[in-house]
Structure 1
Amino acid sequence: MSAIKVALAGNPNTGKSTLFNTLTGLKQHTGNWPGKTVIRAEGSFEHKGEEYVLVDLPGTYSLFSNSADEEVARDYIVFEQPDATIVVLDATSLERNLNLAFQVLEMTDRVIVCINLIDEADKKGIVIDEKKLAAKLGVPVVKMSARNKIGIDLLLNTLDHLVKEKINPSPYRMTYSEEIERKISQIEAQITGLFGAELPSRWIALRLLDGDDALVAKLKEYIDKKKDGVTANELPISANS
């Protein structure tokens, strides 16, 4: 049985790398992402008899196409389709960090939101109701302190439940104006026709509406590699396609 792939996403300075090091210990290595100067960090660990491969994505504030880091992070989640994505948030800057979490929730259902640095939040008198937040986001939420190894077992058990489908997430998705939603539906239908359920059609439709040329290029590359009999010319590249 192949190892379970897990992506680790988050803003810079959220303790994401600390969590990565805590989980993988010495079982890790680094290199560059193919065709990029961006560092790729990958490690492994075991839990409940399962082997996991953990990929530490570059720290980013968004998952658009504004930098190589952003492209690497979003392309891994969308095209490599990890079995789970852990989004690490800073408990002391939750509102700002949630922007990235919402973007990941548009891409995949298989998400755990990890609220790190909870010890720092406690010092500042910040109280976070993780159950209420989980109900709002529609995915599991775990509070922890990676550097103090608080909440690690809960995170791992939650991950186990997610990959074994003992949890059925229903992620929150943004809704837009009637006109935008109509255009999303039109493009989404074309994307689904091309890829079925392989790729997140709604998220792709949103990015195409926004004129994301880098994503268009990546989709054409994906078609060339994966979809025999489908041509890149069938790809809707604008809202008027």
Structure 2
Amino acid sequence: MSVNKIALAGNPNTGKSTLFNTLTGLKQHTGNWPGKTVVHAEGSFEHNGEQYVLVDLPGTYSLFSNSADEEVARDYIIFDQPDATIVVLDATSLERNLNLALQVLEMTNKVIICINLIDEAEKKGIRIDDKKLARELGVPVVKISARNKKGIDQLLDTLNQLVHGQIVTTPYRMTYSKEIEEAILKVESKIKGYFDGKYPSRWIALRLLDGDEELILKLQNHKNNRQGEEITNGVPVSVKS
């Protein structure tokens, strides 16, 4: 039986760890990510006869690799390529939390937006139209209360459908100025072939244009070296020519 790898991402204090504990119970263990002091939490659970491994990524506000936590979270989504990424948002601070969600949507199509603390939001008179949000973001949106186990079955059913291709997503992608979009297209057209379609080319183009040198080195390490080509000054040689 195959095991589905699931990433759990979110800002700090969104109830992400509560959801992790709710899903995995006692079937979990912790340690450190290789070469990092960042805690690695992993657990397992079953649903509808399916086996899942859930990786609780460090709570972060962005995935730009400005800290060890951000680097770990970003690298897992890009290089380990989980079967799905659940992004946990705080229903009472939705606008602030959406920043991370939009970054994840740039990186992978296999995303579920999980709006937690929905009971707290309702107490404050906050109403969230999950169906409209799903249409806007192009991915499933599920409202839950991890603490009270409300909406968990719907979340798991949605996860099952997503990993089996029964849900087709069209993730929202940020649109930038005309100049930036033209630069993205130019770089993206080159790197699609360079990385053999293994990684999200638009996201990589954005990171290259932003001069993310550390990511460039990691991409080199994860790619079979191609004769006569190297990456310098933040852009592949083939892109620069």
* Residue 191 (structure 2) pairs with residue 195 (structure 1): no
**How far 1:194 moved relative to its partner?**
1.4
Describe how 1:12-27 pairs up with structure 2 within 5 A.
12-27=12-27
Aligned to 2:162: 162
* Residue 41 (structure 2) pairs with residue 41 (structure 1): yes
Which of 5-14 and 176-185 deviates more?
Answer: 176-185
TM-score, normalised on structure 1? 0.95
* Residue 202 (structure 2) pairs with residue 213 (structure 1): no
Secondary structure class of the residue paired with 2:222: helix
**How far 1:165 moved relative to its partner?**
0.6
Aligned to 1:5: 5
Deviations 1:16-60 (A, max 9, x none): 000000000000001111111111000000011110000000000
In the alignment, residue 161 of structure 1 is paired with which amino acid? Q
Name the CA distance, whole Å, in 2 between partners of 1:125 and 1:230.
Answer: 61
* Residue 102 (structure 2) pairs with residue 105 (structure 1): no
**How far 1:205 moved relative to its partner?**
0.5
Unaligned runs of at least 5 residues, structure 1: none
Secondary structure class of the residue paired with 1:165: coil
In the alignment, residue 27 of structure 2 is paired with which amino acid? K
**How far 1:228 moved relative to its partner?**
4.9
Name the CA distance, whole Å, in 2 between partners of 1:152 and 1:6.
Answer: 15
Name the CA distance, whole Å, in 2 between partners of 1:235 and 1:7.
Answer: 32
Describe how 1:127-142 pairs up with structure 2 within 5 A.
127-142=127-142
Return closer, same or farther for 1:67/1:34 CA change in 2, 3 Å cut-off: same
Which of 184-193 and 90-99 deviates more?
Answer: 184-193
Name the CA distance, whole Å, in 2 between partners of 1:198 and 1:2.
Answer: 21
Aligned to 1:87: 87
Deviations 1:129-186 (A, max 9, x none): 0000000000000000000000000000000000111100000001111111111111
Name the CA distance, whole Å, in 1 between partners of 2:14 and 2:228.
Answer: 41
In the alignment, residue 22 of structure 1 is paired with which amino acid? T
> Does the CA-based 8 Å contact 2:57-2:73 persist in structure 1?
yes
Name the CA distance, whole Å, in 2 between partners of 1:228 and 1:215.
Answer: 16
Name the CA distance, whole Å, in 1 between partners of 2:72 and 2:112.
Answer: 20
Name the CA distance, whole Å, in 1 between partners of 2:9 and 2:195.
Answer: 25
Secondary structure class of the residue paired with 2:234: coil
**How far 1:73 moved relative to its partner?**
0.2
TM-score, normalised on structure 2? 0.95
Name the CA distance, whole Å, in 2 between partners of 1:236 and 1:190.
Answer: 16
**How far 1:103 moved relative to its partner?**
0.1
Deviations 1:72-117 (A, max 9, x none): 0010001110000000000000000000000000000000000000
Unaligned runs of at least 5 residues, structure 2: none
Aligned to 1:124: 124
